[in-house]
Each structure stands twice: as structure tokens, then as C-alpha cells.
């Protein structure tokens, strides 16, 4: 990839805290205009990677480049063109919505006049036009996230770094954020997001990197990863003796995983499996297309915690 | 290490203003309560001790006890308002409120933030110290222009004690530890530095130790200003206060770097 088309480049990055290895030999590249996901369970190192990208944590080994600036040495120059949506809200709760934008714009050296000129379009984008003079402490969780997003856009960044942007939101608020992010992608922004929601990663990301314990265990387009690692239908079976069921359906399954009280059966012809399960009392069977959850389960042998 | 330490220093001479303005904006919403809260304690001390003890003590260093005490109270109120602003409010912004974290995702550096917080705390000291001065001038214990003469020292005192408190909050795991700094450092300093009685009353060895403390340098500048006398070795006091303001700034910024940016 040509440098000018690359927004983020990690090359052989390692980071330990004490003797605990948090990020292990990680390399990936994000092209400009792309939505790239870091997908993994809690503790996989996602937030550490996001903070390294901003120059807030220095790697022990490896090279990081963000918008053509070496990080952390020139992280400040890079951050001028980056917007950040942190994992935990850090808005000014005592300030109004508009005051939050005003205060934050000043950190980028913007004049009050310039901030007031861009604020209406940001509030409109965040669907907060009617809330300009409302205190943040009176806003719902979804509104606060949208304000954090609007705040991250105040410096008109090329790149948005979002650490678990929809964690803790209800489904309606989550869908509204996703819809807003797609608008940003359509405008040509680059987005790096960390998430442990498979659905979020599948819907938004052009490409993603699956992480476990600081290691990259897979990288690619969501569809391609699902095809490559699963490539067939899935039956979720629960409510019976898992050991007995496993023996029963093994001849018809390409692969079987057990996680908790659920049996995941991957089969080319799920009907064949269903025939053998018919008539068993108390058994629940759900047939569905494969998703990234299955990829993670396949690669790690365990489900990603919700 | 050197290169990384340089990266957290203030990026330029004006970035800190955005941090100051953020704090000013927050303060404006609660200004009246804040001013009354800051004034109540020193004024109670001034009148309680001034009238009560003043009757017994009579004249001190050629002036009434309450006029002697008023100058000390100006220095103490500058010290406590900068200290408390930093210990409690700045600590909350650094820790629970995550305000610093938000600022660190912009083009500001840690040094810009710490500098903005220091100047803000010093501004609150000027407000508190001046308010006590105004009360004293109204009662006739000092002249109006002397408040102006004392103001640069009040501001410098604010910077010093905010800077020292920055070191405390950069090390303290939680609020619970601040009480040690208050009871073991600040309270003894009030009694050692000539606030409520002249340092000449102290045993000789204490006098030498006390003369090194930052509050002693503040008192030695503010009291002559308020009593319209010439200050002895003013340059030495100003120089000492500058050292007390600058060294903890560099130390606390390095400690914050270790705490917040690993």
C-alpha cells in the first residue's frame, strides 16, 4: 500500500505492562476511507491499541504511523486530524451541549466564532438540534454518545478512533449511532473502531482484525472470514444431553463446538441433522446463517463474552 | 526518556489558556457559592482570633494584633484556595471526571493541562486573598492601595501551593490521602510561618527551618505590603517562591506522565 493512501499502520507492535503481555507482535494497516474493526473479548488489548494509536501509550517494540505521522513521537501533530470517541463518556456534565462543543473546540485552538459557525451542523448531524442549551447531565445515554461523536468531529478530522462506541446503549440508540457512522463513511472519513459486538463489526466494518489476548488471530473482510472459517449453515441446539447429542449428529456435521449448554453444529445440509433430532422432547433447535461469533468460537474454542 | 518527557511539556505559550477558560466557565456557574465558601473560613478566623486574642495580645510588631493577623490570613487564604482547588477539583478532573483524558485526545499536552490548572488555581487565590484584603481595608486594618501591592505575591503564592498540591495528586491513589498533606504539612506551616504570631516567638532552630518554608516567604512579602513597610530581602523571597512553583511543576508533570500515559 502507498503511504498516502494509508491512514493507520501498525508494524510489529508489542506492549507489556509489567510481565503481562498486552499486545503481541501486532501488524495491520487501515486504508483511508475504510472502516476497520478491532474485534475481541474484554482484555484482548483493544483499548490499549486505541490508546497507542493516539500516542497515550508507547509501544515497547514496533512502528506506528497515523496519518503519515510517526507515533508517539509526533502524536500531537497526528491528533490534530483525529477525532476520538472514548469508551467511557468524558463530557462536561455541568455544561450544556453547546458549551461542550465550545470548550472542546478551544482545545484545538479554534476561535469562538469558528466554533459557533460549525456547531449547528454538528448538532444536526448528532440529532441534538433541540438540545443545544440542555445540560449534559439531563441527556440520555444515547444522546451523550451522539454528543461525544459530534464533539469528536469539531476539528473536522480525517480519522475517527472509536473505542466501543455503542457499549451500554439500548438497541434503538445503537442503530442510530450505526446509521450516523455510515453517513460519515459515505463522506470519506476513516474509522477505526473497537468492539465486542459481532453484529456491529459485521454491519459496519469493511475489514476487521480478530484479537485474542493481544494476538491477531484473523484478519479480513467479515464475509470472507465467515466463508473461510465456517462456510456452511449453523444449528444451535440446547436443552438435551449434549454428550449424547454430539454422538448422534457427528456423522452429519462438518464440525461441532460446545459452549456452555449450547451445541453449535456446522453442517452443509442441516436438514439431515434436523431429521435425527426430530421427536426429542425439550430440545430447542435454531438454524441460522453463520456469523463472526462462529468464527471466533472456531478460532478460540470459546464464545466471546457479551 | 528525555524525548518522551519533552513531548509532555507545554507545546507553546498559550495552549494552557483553553484549560483556564474551561475552568472559568465551570466556575461562573457556581461563582457566588464559591466566593462565599472561600471567604467564610478565613473571615471567621480573622474576627474570632483577631478580636478575641487581640484583646489579650495588644500590639504586635508595632501594630494592632488584628492588622498583623489580617496580613497572615491573606497569605493563608491564598494557600488554602489554591491547595483545595488542586487537591479536590483538579484531582476530580484528572481522575473521576476524565476531563484530562478528553483534553489529552486533542492537540494539548499534559504540560499544557497542568499549566492551565496552576494558573487557574492561582486565579482563585487572587480572588480569595483580595477578598480578605478588601474586608481588612473596609475595617481599616490596611489601606486600599496595599491590596494592589500584595496582589503579585498572592498570585505567586497560589502558583506555589497549586504546584505543590499537583505533586500530591499525581501520587495519591485517592482522596483519602489528601488529609495527610493537610494535617502534616499545611497546618503546621500556618503555625511555623508567622501567620498568627511572629516567628521570633519560635525556638531558634525552628526559626531557621521555618524560614525555608514557602508560606514564610509569602507572609514576609504580604505583611510588609499590607502594613506599608519595606520588605527585607524581597528578591530572596520572590526567588524562593519561584523555585517552589517551578520545580514541583516539572516533577508533577513527569509523575502524571507515569500515571496517565504509560
Write down the domain spans for chain A.
3-222, 232-289
Fold of A232-289: Alpha-Beta Plaits (3.30.70)
More confidently predicted of B110 and A167: B110
φ/ψ of residue B63, rounded to 5: -145, 170
Predicted pLDDT of residue B3: 66
Beta carbons of A107 and B107 less than 8 Å apart: yes
Instruction: Say how far apart CA A123 and CA A203 lie, in whole Å.
Output: 25
Q: Is the pLDDT of residue A306 over 70?
A: no
Q: Closest partner residue to B107 among A80, A88, A91, by Cβ?
A: A80
Instruction: Say how far apart CA B234 and CA A203 lie, in whole Å.
Output: 69
Predicted pLDDT of residue B1: 47
Instruction: Say how far apart CA B239 and CA B55 lie, in whole Å.
Output: 37
Tell me whether B28 touches chain A (CB under 8 Å): no
Predicted pLDDT of residue B112: 97
Q: Is the pLDDT of residue A1 over 50?
A: no
- Residues above pLDDT 70, as percent of chain B: 99
Q: Closest partner residue to A90 among B26, B102, B108, by Cβ?
A: B102
Query: Do residues B103 and B210 make contact, with C-beta atoms less than 8 angstroms apart?
Result: no
Average pLDDT over residues B10-32: 95
In B, minimum Cα distance to A48 occurs at B262
Instruction: Say how far apart CA A139 and CA B244 lie, in whole Å.
Output: 43
Task: Record the cell numbers describing residue A177, joined without a space.
Answer: 449511532
Task: Record the cell numbers describing residue B227, joined without a space.
Answer: 502594613
**DSSP string for B164-206:** HHHHHHHH-SSGGGHHHHIIIIIHHHHHHTTSSS-GGGS-HHH
Non-local CB neighbours of A261 within 8 Å, separated by 6+ positions: A238, A239, A242
More confidently predicted of A272 and B166: B166
φ/ψ of residue B186, rounded to 5: -70, -50
Range with top average pLDDT, A247-261, A275-289, B80-94: B80-94
Give tens-digit pLDDT for B48-90: 888 888 888 889 998 999 999 999 999 999 999 999 999 999 9
Chain B from 79 to 138: CB within 8 A of any A CB:
97-99, 101-109
In A, minimum Cα distance to B260 occurs at A56
Q: What is the sign of the dihedral through the CA atoms of B75, B78, B82 and B83?
A: positive
Q: Is B118 helix (H, G, I), strand (E, B) or coil?
A: helix
Predicted pLDDT of residue A109: 95
Predicted pLDDT of residue A115: 97
Tell me whether B45 touches chain A (CB under 8 Å): no
Instruction: Give the minimum alpha-carbon distance from A133 to chain B in angstroms, rounded to a whole number.
Output: 14
Give A-chain residues touching B18 at CB under 8 angstroms. Answer: 103, 106-107, 109
Other Cβ atoms closer than 10 A to B211: 18
Query: Do residues B161 and B197 make contact, with C-beta atoms less than 8 angstroms apart?
Result: no
Cβ pairs bridging A and B (under 8 Å): 68
Q: What is the sign of the dihedral through the CA atoms of B113, B115, B118 and B122?
A: negative
pLDDT band at B185 (very low <50, low <70, confident <90, very high): very high
Beta carbons of B25 and A106 less than 8 Å apart: no
Predicted pLDDT of residue B6: 85
Predicted pLDDT of residue A83: 97
Q: Closest partner residue to B101 among A90, A106, A109, by Cβ?
A: A90
Instruction: Give the minimum alpha-carbon distance from B152 to chain A in angstroms, rounded to a whole number.
Output: 28
Neighbour order of strands in the sheet with A159-163 = A82-85, A159-163, A190-195, A35-39, A207-212, A215-220
Q: Is the pLDDT of residue A255 over 60?
A: yes
Predicted pLDDT of residue A297: 86
Beta carbons of A108 and B107 less than 8 Å apart: yes
What's the CATH code, domain A3-222?
3.40.50.300
Distance separating the N- and C-terminal Cα atoms of chain A:
35
Beta carbons of B105 and A73 less than 8 Å apart: no
Beta carbons of A104 and B98 less than 8 Å apart: no
Instruction: Give the minimum alpha-carbon distance from B141 to chain A in angstroms, rounded to a whole number.
Output: 40
Task: Record the cell numbers describing residue B173, joined without a space.
Answer: 491513589
Predicted pLDDT of residue A304: 58
**Range scoring the smallest mean pLDDT among A161-175, A223-237, A274-288, B160-174:** A274-288
Mean pLDDT value across chain A: 91
pLDDT band at A228 (very low <50, low <70, confident <90, very high): very high
pTM for this entry: 0.92
Mean pLDDT value across chain B: 93
Query: Do residues B110 and A76 make contact, with C-beta atoms less than 8 angstroms apart?
Result: no
Query: Do residues A180 and A286 make contact, with C-beta atoms less than 8 angstroms apart?
Result: no
Instruction: Give the minimum alpha-carbon distance from B61 to chain A in angstroms, rounded to a whole number.
Output: 48
Q: Is A208 helix (H, G, I), strand (E, B) or coil?
A: strand
Instruction: Say how far apart CA B99 and CA B112 lie, in whole Å.
Output: 13
Which residue out of B4, B25, B26, B102 would a mutagenesis test of the A interface target, given it has the greatest number of A Cβ atoms within 10 Å? B102
State ipTM. 0.91
Amino acid at each position: 500500500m502507498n503511504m498516502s493512501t494509508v491512514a493507520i499502520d501498525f508494524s510489529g507492535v508489542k506492549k507489556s505492562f509489567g510481565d503481562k503481555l498486552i499486545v503481541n507482535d501486532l501488524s495491520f494497516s487501515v486504508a483511508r476511507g475504510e472502516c476497520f474493526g478491532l474485534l475481541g473479548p474484554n482484555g484482548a488489548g483493544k483499548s490499549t491499541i486505541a490508546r497507542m494509536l493516539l500516542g497515550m501509550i508507547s509501544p515497547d517494540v514496533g512502528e506506528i504511523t497515523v496519518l503519515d505521522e510517526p507515533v508517539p513521537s509526533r502524536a500531537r501533530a497526528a491528533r490534530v486530524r483525529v477525532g476520538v470517541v472514548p469508551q467511557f463518556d468524558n463530557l462536561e456534565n455541568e455544561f450544556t451541549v453547546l458549551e461542550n462543543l465550545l470548550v472542546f473546540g478551544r482545545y484545538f485552538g479554534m476561535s469562538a466564532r469558528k466554533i459557533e459557525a460549525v456547531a449547528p451542523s454538528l448538532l444536526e448531524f448528532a440529532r441534538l438540534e433541540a438540545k443545544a442549551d440542555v445540560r449534559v447531565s439531563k441527556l440520555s445515554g444515547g444522546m451523550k454518545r451522539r454528543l461525544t461523536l459530534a464533539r469528536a468531529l469539531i476539528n473536522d478530522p480525517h480519522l475517527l478512533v472509536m473505542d466501543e462506541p455503542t457499549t451500554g446503549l439500548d438497541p434503538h440508540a445503537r442503530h442510530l449511532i450505526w446509521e450516523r457512522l455510515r453517513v460519515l463513511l459515505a463522506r470519506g472519513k476513516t474509522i477505526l473502531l473497537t468492539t465486542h459486538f459481532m453484529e456491529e463489526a459485521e454491519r459496519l466494518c469493511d475489514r476487521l482484525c480478530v484479537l485474542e489476548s493481544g494476538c491477531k488471530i484473523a484478519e479480513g473482510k467479515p464475509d470472507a472470514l465467515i466463508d473461510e472459517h465456517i462456510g456452511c449453515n449453523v444449528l444451535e441446539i440446547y436443552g438435551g444431553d449434549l454428550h449424547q447429542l454430539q454422538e448422534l449428529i457427528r456423522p452429519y456435521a462438518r464440525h461441532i463446538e460446545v459452549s456452555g449448554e449450547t451445541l453449535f453444529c456446522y453442517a452443509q445440509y442441516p436438514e439431515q441433522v434436523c431429521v435425527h433430532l426430530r421427536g426429542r422432547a425439550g430440545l430447542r433447535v435454531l438454524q441460522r446463517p453463520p456469523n463472526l461469533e462462529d468464527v471466533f468460537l472456531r478460532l478460540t474454542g470459546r464464545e466471546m463474552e457479551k | 526518556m528525555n524525548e518522551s518527557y519533552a513531548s509532555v511539556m507545554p507545546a507553546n505559550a498559550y495552549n494552557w489558556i483553553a484549560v483556564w477558560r474551561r475552568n472559568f466557565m465551570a466556575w461562573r456557574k457556581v461563582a457566588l457559592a464559591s466566593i462565599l465558601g472561600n471567604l467564610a473560613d478565613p473571615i471567621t478566623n480573622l474576627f474570632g482570633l483577631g478580636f478575641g486574642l487581640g484583646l489579650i495580645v495588644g500590639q504586635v510588631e508595632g501594630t494592632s494584633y488584628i492588622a498583623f493577623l489580617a496580613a497572615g490570613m491573606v497569605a493563608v487564604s491564598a494557600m488554602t484556595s489554591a491547595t483545595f482547588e488542586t487537591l479536590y477539583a483538579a484531582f476530580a478532573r484528572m481522575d473521576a471526571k476524565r476531563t484530562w483524558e478528553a483534553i489529552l485526545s486533542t492537540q494539548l499536552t499534559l504540560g499544557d493541562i497542568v499549566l492551565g490548572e496552576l494558573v487557574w488555581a492561582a486565579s482563585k487565590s487572587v480572588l480569595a486573598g483580595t477578598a480578605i484584603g478588601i474586608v481588612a481595608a473596609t475595617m481599616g486594618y490596611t489601606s486600599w492601595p496595599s491590596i494592589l501591592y500584595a496582589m503579585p505575591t498572592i498570585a505567586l503564592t497560589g502558583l506555589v501551593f497549586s504546584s505543590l498540591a499537583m505533586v500530591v495528586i499525581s501520587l495519591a491513589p485517592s482522596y483519602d490521602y489528601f488529609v495527610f498533606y493537610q494535617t502534616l504539612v499545611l497546618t503546621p506551616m500556618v503555625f511555623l510561618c508567622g501567620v498568627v504570631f511572629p516567628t521570633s516567638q519560635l525556638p531558634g532552630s525552628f526559626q531557621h527551618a521555618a524560614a525555608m518554608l514557602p508560606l514564610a516567604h509569602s507572609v514576609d512579602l504580604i505583611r510588609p505590603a499590607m502594613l506599608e513597610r519595606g520588605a527585607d530581602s524581597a528578591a530572596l523571597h520572590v526567588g524562593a517562591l519561584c523555585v517552589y512553583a517551578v520545580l514541583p511543576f516539572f516533577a508533577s508533570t513527569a509523575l502524571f506522565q507515569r500515571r496517565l500515559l504509560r
